[in-house]
Amino acid sequence: MNMTKIKYISAAVPGFLLLHLLSGCAAKDHQEEKTAAAPAVTETFLLQKNKFSTTLQLPGELIAYQQVDLYAKVTSFVKELKADIGTEVTEGQLLIVLEAPELLSQMSAAESRLRSQEATYAASNANYNRLVETSKTPGTVSQNDLDLAQAKKNSDLANLEAARASSREIGVMKSYLEIRAPFNGVITSRNVNLGAYVGPSGKGSEFPLFTLQQQSQLRLAVSIPEAFTGYLNQDDEISFRVRSQPGETFKAKVKRMAGALDLRLRSERIEMDVMNADKKLLPGTVAEVSIPMVAKDSVFVVPKTAVVNSSEGTYVIKVNNKITERVSVKKGRDLDDKSEIFGTLHVNDKLLLKASEEIRDGSIINN
């Protein structure tokens, strides 16, 4: 072999090696591209229905079962105070005695008018009765005299009834000078002192005399968002906690449901009765309420990773004969790593466990 041929072979070998290396790199890049185009996760599961139960955490407010602000009905002055802040009172107990000299004068005048009308009516009635007896003898009393006597009696009777009504009215007004407790409870506010001017209008009625609350039983009021109103029923039990009693959990049952949404808050007001005989809970306290949300019927429950939320909508990826299909769903509640979904699905449908936007309709997977 001559030297020229040897040089030619030596020059050709590096070119062949370079071409072989470039071909290997291109094949490797093509393999990597093919691998990247395939779905990263192809694990599937069979769709099943379950009773989905979650707990809704909401703030609530404890309020007195009954509360009333007590005002003066008539213009008067405070004569006696029989209770103060913190006083426990019973129904009908006297709380405040008022005095109104003008009212007493009006009552004396009304009683005098009543006695006068009683005497007047007694006289006209007696006169009419005598004339009736006398008229039984023909020709003794004219019919005109009898009619006049009867009219006088009826007029006096009407005046007597008016005097009685006026006297009763003054008597009712006098009863307003004594303010009594309408129910058992605790006085939580006092805004007057002895001698203070009070009345139904004016400066004396700016604030209530007393505020009375029934605290042995409380109401727990909660506003339930519109999306969760279908999960609660009458007598469902809830639990709640308050900051003033750390570590203690209280129970209550749903007793009253508004049955309509508040147009401002888009929520339904519900109330629970809370027994509070030991007065551990105070009206006005904010409570942390835990409300169980148990589905009435079985629903589709899937892992959160199976649901895709994208600009194209919310969907899961169904697998049929190794071909993918996006199915639009509506997402419900979440609990830990599970989600509640609603859509055109059936029990035992095969879904991707880890769905993603990269997996399009019609993709072929190996599972």
With contact defined as beta carbons under 8 Å apart, do 360 and 39 qualify?
A: no
User: How many Å apart are CA 192 and CA 301, to the nearest integer?
Assistant: 62
* Token pair recorded at residue 116: 């006068």
pLDDT of residue 233: 85
* Token pair recorded at residue 262: 């508040």
pLDDT of residue 18: 39
Residue 213 CB-density burial (10 A; 0-12 exposed, 13-18 middle, 19+ buried): buried
pLDDT of residue 56: 85
Domains of the chain, residue spans: 101-176, 214-294, 298-352
* Residue where the block lists tokens 């009834």: 161
Whether the predicted model's global pTM rises above the 0.75 cut: no
User: How many Å apart are CA 200 and CA 129, to the nearest integer?
Assistant: 48
- The CATH architecture assigned to 298-352 reads Beta Barrel (2.40)
Among residues 303, 310, 339, which one has the least CA distance to residue 326?
Answer: 310
- The correct CATH number of 214-294 out of 1.10.3720.10, 1.20.1270.360, 3.40.50.300, 2.40.30.170 is 2.40.30.170
With contact defined as beta carbons under 8 Å apart, do 307 and 331 qualify?
A: yes
pLDDT of residue 117: 92
Phi-psi region of 195 (alpha: psi -120 to 50; beta: other; left: phi over 0): left
* SS3 category, 13: helix
Cα 160 to the chain's mean position, in Å?
54
CA torsion sign for 111, 113, 116, 121 is: negative
pLDDT of residue 41: 47
pLDDT of residue 234: 87
With contact defined as beta carbons under 8 Å apart, do 316 and 302 qualify?
A: yes
- Could you read off the pLDDT tens digit of each residue along the chain, which spans 367 residues? 444 443 433 444 444 433 444 444 444 444 444 444 444 447 888 888 877 677 889 999 999 999 999 999 888 999 999 999 999 999 999 999 999 888 888 888 888 899 999 999 999 999 999 988 888 888 788 888 888 989 999 999 999 999 999 888 888 888 899 999 999 999 999 999 999 989 886 666 788 999 999 999 999 999 999 888 887 888 889 999 999 988 899 999 999 999 899 888 899 999 999 999 988 999 999 999 998 877 666 788 889 888 999 888 999 999 988 889 899 998 877 777 888 888 889 888 889 888 888 888 888 887 6
Q: Tell me which DSSP letter residue 82 carries.
A: -
Show the CA angle centred on residue 30, arms to residues 28 and 32, nearest 5°: 70
* Residue where the block lists tokens 């009172």: 89
User: How many Å apart are CA 192 and CA 81, to the nearest integer?
Assistant: 9
Strands (E) across the chain are located at 44-46, 49-50, 53-70, 76-81, 88-89, 94-99, 178-180, 185-190, 197-198, 210-225, 237-242, 250-257, 267-275, 286-294, 299-303, 308-310, 313-320, 323-335, 338-343, 350-352
DSSP H helices, the chain, are: 3-37, 101-134, 143-175
With contact defined as beta carbons under 8 Å apart, do 202 and 104 qualify?
A: no
Looking at residue 26, its amino acid is A
Half-sphere exposure of 220 (CA within 13 A, CB side): 28
Among residues 305, 356, 362, which one has the least CA distance to residue 39?
Answer: 356
| Fold (CATH) for 101-176 | Helix Hairpins (1.10.287)
pLDDT of residue 367: 66
pLDDT of residue 161: 93
Q: Which residues, at least 6 apart from 358, have a Cβ–Cβ distance to it below 8 Å?
A: 39
pLDDT of residue 142: 85
